[in-house]
Chains A and B, each alone.
Chain A
Amino acid sequence: MKTKLSAENLNISFGTKHVLKNVNVSFAENEITALIGPSGCGKSTLLRSFNRMHDLSPDAKISGSLKLENLDLYSKTVPVTEIRKRIGMVFQKANPFPKSIFDNIAYGLKINNLPHDKGVIEKALREAFLWEEVKNDLKMPATRLSGGQQQRLCIARAVALRPEVILMDEPCSALDPVSTLKIEELISHLKEKYTIVIVTHNMQQAQRIADKTVFMYLGEVKEEGLTSQIFGNPVNEVTANYITGQFG
Chain B
Amino acid sequence: MLRKSQKLTSVIEWGTLLLSTLLVCFFLVVVIWEIVSKGASQLSWEFVTQVPTDGMTKGGILTPIIGTVLLTLITALFSIPFGVACAIYLQEYAEDNWLTRTIRASIRNLSGVPSIIYGLFGLALFVQALQFGTSLIAAGLTLGLLSLPYIITTTEEALMRIPNSTREAALAVGATKFETIKDVIIPSAMSGILTGVVLTLSRAAGETAPILFTGAAFYINGTSGFVNQEFMALPYHLYMLSTQHQSIDEVRPIAYGTALVLIVVVFLLNLTAFYIRYKYRKNEN
Contact = CB atoms under 8 A, between A and B. Distances in A.
Interface string A164-201: 00000000000000000000000000000000000000
Contact of A97 (B163, B164, B170, B283): B170
B173 interface: yes
B285 A143 contact: yes
A141 B187 CA distance: 13
Interface in B251-285: 283-285
Interface string A67-106: 0000000000000011011001101010111110000000
Main secondary structure of the interface of B (DSSP, over half): helix
B171 A53 contact: yes
A96 B169 contact: yes
Contacts of B283: 98, 141
Interface in A24-62: 51, 53, 56, 58
Nearest to A87: B172
Nearest to A144: B285
B284 A161 contact: no
Nearest to B280: A98
B168 interface: yes
B98 to A, nearest CB: 15
Contacts of A81: 174-176
Interface in B180-195: 183-184, 187-188
A112 interface: yes
Given A141-B283, A143-B284, A144-B285, A95 B173 contact: no
A128 B173 CA distance: 16
A91 B173 contact: no
Contacts of B170: 97, 107
A88 B169 contact: no
Size range of the chain B interface in the assembly: 20 to 34
B20 interface: no
A1 interface: no
Nearest to B96: A58
A98 B188 contact: yes
Contact of A111 (B164, B165, B169, B175): B175
A234 interface: no
A81 B168 CA distance: 12
A56 B183 contact: no
Given A98-B187, A143-B285, A144-B285, A85 B173 contact: yes
B184 A89 contact: no
A97 B184 CA distance: 7
A125 to B, nearest CB: 15
Contact of B174 (A91, A99, A112, A141): A112
Nearest to B179: A111
B162 to A, nearest CB: 9
Interface in B13-52: none
A91 B184 contact: no
Contact of A107 (B165, B168, B183, B285): B183
A157 interface: yes
Contacts of A144: 285
Contacts of B228: none
Contacts of B163: 95
B192 to A, nearest CB: 12
Given A91-B165, A98-B284, A157 B173 contact: yes
Contacts of A93: 165
Contacts of B165: 91, 93, 95
Given A141-B284, A143-B285, A89 B95 contact: no
B174 A95 contact: no
A245 to B, nearest CB: 30
A228 to B, nearest CB: 32
Contacts of A95: 163, 165-166, 168-169
Nearest to A97: B184
Interface string B51-64: 00000000000000
A112 B175 CA distance: 8
A89 B174 CA distance: 10
A85 B174 CA distance: 5
Given A98-B184, A161-B174, 11 more contacts: A51-B172, A81-B174, A84-B173, A85-B174, A91-B165, A93-B165, A95-B168, A98-B283, A107-B183, A112-B174, A144-B285
Interface of B: 95, 163-176, 179, 183-184, 187-188, 283-285
22 contacts: A53-B168, A53-B171, A56-B167, A81-B174, A88-B172, A89-B168, A91-B165, A93-B165, A95-B168, A96-B169, A97-B169, A97-B184, A98-B166, A98-B184, A107-B173, A107-B175, A108-B174, A111-B174, A111-B176, A112-B173, A144-B285, A158-B172
